[in-house]
Structure 1
Amino acid sequence: MRSEMLVTLIVTTYNRPDALELVLGACLAQTDRNFEIVIADDGSGLPTRELIERTALRSPIPIVHAWQPDEGFRAAASRNRAIAAARGDYLIFLDGDCVPQRNFIARHRALAQPRTIVTGSRILLRERLTAYVLEQQLALAEQSAGFWLRQRAAGQVNKVLPLLVQLPDFARRRVDGFVWRGIKTCNLGAWRSDVATVNGFDESFVGWGHEDADLVARLHNAGIGRKQGFMATEVLHLWHPEAARDREGPNHARVLARLADGTTRAEKGLEDLAVVT
């Protein structure tokens, strides 16, 4: 992707301002400066709003707060609202508890190619390290190799090699067919035009689970390719308790059915948005 093309970084959040503060700090420290931030807020309260307003006042990067009322887990609707507010040709989705490395946007830009999405991966921080990082508001992207090796030895991260070695684009990044493994909208890059073609995320998915796989499945059905961003775009995922997964089974079955019947467009998606605030 050309360096002059604007990227929109869409950061999802819900009532976790301490994590969001850490993530936004890392976003503002990116080496690639040609981007904007749209925060997809699924109904957070006043502390999150105040944090975003404070950060936007001092930020050299444009920040837009796309908020929707809290009516339960509505990640798909939240992301669609943010997409509608985006100005960039290329979208990078990042969760508000996933801290990017300083070259995160630069590496996504380098991997981007027409009619292709990039699915990145993550490094998992354990509960004790997460608590310390949030308490200290520790700039994770600035920590040394020695710090990460010590955390790995203590069992506080699941891997460190992607922080020490990064790989360029190469043929094995290409994913043939639809592969479920590795689909995470906490770290995903896609062309806005491709996302619009499939009508964005499907808001008819309710509860936790697989609205992200559904998007990738429909993009696959529409002929959009996929590359893996491993050893290039890893984010540092802060620990949190798992969400209720009572809808995982039905949502999983819906994705499989859509793969089988070739569905490309969301039942309720971008075109159904009435107002963006």
Structure 2
Amino acid sequence: MNAEISLIITTYNWPEALDAVLRSVSNQQLLPSEVVIADDGSRSETRDLISKWQHKAPFAVKHIWQEDDGFQAARIRNKAAAAASGDYLIFLDGDCLLRPDFIKRHQKLATPGYFVAGNRALLTESFTTELLAEQIEAECWPAKRFKEDQINRTWPLRYIPLGPLRKRNSQKWQGVKSCNLGVWKTDLIKANGLDEAFIGWGYEDSDLVIRLLRNNVCRLNGRLATTVLHLWHKEHDRSQEQENWQRLQDVINSDKKKAVQGIDQYL
């Protein structure tokens, strides 16, 4: 289904990775209407990089920045989504490279009443270092070109139509990640976006998906069509994981449909 697509890319102080992601966006067979950088408090190096892309990109680039106050991914994604002009939003992380047909596949899968849950393949530490240093566009490679010491698995890079099978498990919230998630903006607003009570790493995307499902927005499987290449990095600080996990359990055991601290405050 045709849609005006806004690509929302979350980033924090890793301009080399963001540059690689934006290069992969510029190589898309179908360009987005715009890219919105959701910047969770990066320093000036990231701002300078984004400024360069704003002058040279074949698509509009918006930079939404907030002060560095710890891991506040839910808040910056809400701000970026509110600023997005597209009617269909694709959320990405600033360390996920797009295959050339990524946006085209997402647009083809975009269906009223559904969100699209994509997945990822993980690049190794050594290959990530090499890729960034030499600006290797590995996202353009066929699956068979990758070696075992470069990627954890290649089968997700293959395309299989799947058809009606994509709507199996349409009520399953587990396993959906906001590093590769397509959703209609009206549906996101219906659930009031991400819940900013989730601070630090963990489960803000699961909470969003549960509330989307309760608002009659179903899951459509984007695997074997919209896989991204995830650059290796050290694990984020997970000191607040247990608190966020308990917050998620509270949501599961309730009938909550809307975030209390959500996107409505920025609209």
The answer to whether the superposition gives a TM-score over 0.5 is: yes
Q: 2:15 aligns with which of 17, 21, 38?
A: 17
* 2:120–2:156 contact (8 Å) kept in structure 1: no
Question: What does residue 203 of structure 1 align with?
Answer: 196
Q: How far apart, in 2, do the equivalents of 1:16 and 1:25 lie?
A: 15
- 1:219-254 residue CA offsets vs partner (Å, 9 max, x unmatched): 111111001111100000000011121222221222
Q: How far apart, in 2, do the equivalents of 1:32 and 1:169 lie?
A: 22
Q: How far apart, in 1, do the equivalents of 2:43 and 2:79 lie?
A: 18
TM-score (ref. length: structure 1): 0.92
Correspondences of 1:160-171 after superposition (within 5 Å): 160-163=154-157, 165-171=158-164
Q: How far apart, in 2, do the equivalents of 1:16 and 1:39 lie?
A: 13
- Identity, % of aligned positions: 43
Paired residue type of 1:15 = N
* 2:159–2:224 contact (8 Å) kept in structure 1: yes
**Structure 2, unaligned runs of 5 or more:** none
Q: How far apart, in 1, do the equivalents of 2:196 and 2:143 lie?
A: 41
1:127–1:255 Cα change, 3 Å:
same
Q: CA deviation at 1:168?
A: 1.5
TM-score (ref. length: structure 2): 0.96
Paired residue type of 1:262 = D
Q: How far apart, in 1, do the equivalents of 2:72 and 2:201 lie?
A: 8
- 1:36-84 residue CA offsets vs partner (Å, 9 max, x unmatched): 1000000001110000110110111000001111111000011011011
1:177–1:27 Cα change, 3 Å:
closer
**Structure 1, unaligned runs of 5 or more:** none
Q: How far apart, in 1, do the equivalents of 2:185 and 2:10 lie?
A: 17
Question: What does residue 174 of structure 1 align with?
Answer: 167
Q: How far apart, in 1, do the equivalents of 2:103 and 2:174 lie?
A: 23
Q: How far apart, in 2, do the equivalents of 1:201 and 1:74 lie?
A: 11
Point out the more displaced range, 241-250 or 130-139: 241-250
Q: CA deviation at 1:144?
A: 4.3
Question: What does residue 128 of structure 2 align with?
Answer: 130
Q: How far apart, in 1, do the equivalents of 2:109 and 2:56 lie?
A: 30
* 2:121–2:151 contact (8 Å) kept in structure 1: yes
Question: What does residue 95 of structure 2 align with?
Answer: 97
Q: CA deviation at 1:147?
A: 2.8
Q: How far apart, in 1, do the equivalents of 2:79 and 2:220 lie?
A: 26
- 1:88-109 residue CA offsets vs partner (Å, 9 max, x unmatched): 0000001000001011100011
Q: 2:75 aligned with 1:77, yes or no?
A: yes
Q: 2:152 aligned with 1:158, yes or no?
A: yes
Q: 2:20 aligned with 1:26, yes or no?
A: no
Q: How far apart, in 1, do the equivalents of 2:105 and 2:7 lie?
A: 13
Paired residue type of 2:261 = K
Q: CA deviation at 1:257?
A: 2.3
Q: How far apart, in 2, do the equivalents of 1:258 and 1:94 lie?
A: 24
Q: CA RMSD in A?
A: 1.5
Question: What does residue 260 of structure 2 align with?
Answer: 267
Q: CA deviation at 1:137?
A: 1.3
Paired residue type of 1:137 = Q
SS for the counterpart of 2:181 is strand
Paired residue type of 2:116 = V
Q: How far apart, in 1, do the equivalents of 2:48 and 2:248 lie?
A: 37
